[in-house]
């Protein structure tokens, strides 16, 4: 194998390693996004639970105030009943007392129903707070470990890029720039050996004359089938 090709293959090995590190680094970001989404969902559920509890609490307050008003009314009616002077007044005051009592009974039934719903709503809030806290603890750990992974990968990447730069100096400039043009995000491997008389990547046959030049001079050729760079192994 021509030494230029050997030097290029060493660069390609580094490029493959760099590509793998870049891929692993890029994979860390979606994991952060998934965690943020999970947390948003738990927070929204907690917020909704708190709103439910608050609105029950408000309702309880309203009904309790109404009970107080109705009791005051009842007291007034009782006083009125105590000071009636005729049968007609007594009947009217008694009717008002009964009405007030019915209203109070109704309010108290409602109060007790609200009380039950409030207990349930508060229980839901507590449960959701627990979920959010647990999630935050777990995610803090996961984020720390992700940050450590990221730092580690970035260090490895910096080292690999430096090594690649050093090795690329051993490759003739024209050959290196051809290689760089062929290489892309989709094509990490740009250089392949001839396999017999065909491209080692896509099996397209190369004319004998070109193969002879390749073996004779160590020159590289671009495959007409798939566009990769080919070299002769012997």
Q: Which residues of this chain interact with Zn ion, rule CB under 5 A?
A: 199, 201-202, 204, 223, 225-226
| Residue number, 198 or 215, with CB nearest to Zn ion | 198
The DSSP code sequence of 168-205 is HTTS-HHHHHHHHHH--SS----EEEEETTEETTT-PB
CA distance linking residue 166 with residue 217, whole number of Å: 25
| Residue number, 26 or 205, with CB nearest to Zn ion | 205
**For the chain, how many helices (H) and strands (E)?**
4, 4
Of the candidates 189, 181, 186, 184, the residue with the CA atom closest to the CA atom of residue 231: 189
**Smallest separation (angstroms) from Zn ion to the CB of 215:** 18
| Residue number, 193 or 218, with CB nearest to Zn ion | 193
**Smallest separation (angstroms) from Zn ion to the CB of 222:** 9
| Residue number, 9 or 163, with CB nearest to Zn ion | 9
| Residue number, 218 or 225, with CB nearest to Zn ion | 225
**Smallest separation (angstroms) from Zn ion to the CB of 228:** 5
> Up-side HSE of residue 227: CA atoms within 13 Å toward CB?
9
**Smallest separation (angstroms) from Zn ion to the CB of 214:** 14
**Smallest separation (angstroms) from Zn ion to the CB of 211:** 13
The DSSP code sequence of 153-168 is HHHHHHHHHHHHHHHH
């Amino acid at each position: 194998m021509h030494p230029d090709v050997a030097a290029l293959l060493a660069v390609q090995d580094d490029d493959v390693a760099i590509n793998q590190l870049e891929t692993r680094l890029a994979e860390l970001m979606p994991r952060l996004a998934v965690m943020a989404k999970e947390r948003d969902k738990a927070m929204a559920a907690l917020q909704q639970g708190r709103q439910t509890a608050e609105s029950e609490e408000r309702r309880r307050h309203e009904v309790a105030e109404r009970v107080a008003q109705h009791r005051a009314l009842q007291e007034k009616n009782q006083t009125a009943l105590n000071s009636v002077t005729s049968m007609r007044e007594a009947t009217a005051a008694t009717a008002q007392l009964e009405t007030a009592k019915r209203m109070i009974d109704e309010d108290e039934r409602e109060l007790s129903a609200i009380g039950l719903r409030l207990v349930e709503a508060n229980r839901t809030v507590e449960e959701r707070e627990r979920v959010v806290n647990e999630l935050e603890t777990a995610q803090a750990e996961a984020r720390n470990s992700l940050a450590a992974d990221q730092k580690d990968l970035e260090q490895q990447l910096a080292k690999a890029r430096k090594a690649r730069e050093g090795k690329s100096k051993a490759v003739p400039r024209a050959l290196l720039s051809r290689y760089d043009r062929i290489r892309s995000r989709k094509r990490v491997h740009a250089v392949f050996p001839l396999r017999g008389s065909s491209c080692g990547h896509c099996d397209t046959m190369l004319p004998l004359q070109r193969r002879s030049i390749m073996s004779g001079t160590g020159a590289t050729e671009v495959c007409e089938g798939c566009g990769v760079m080919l070299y002769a192994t012997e």
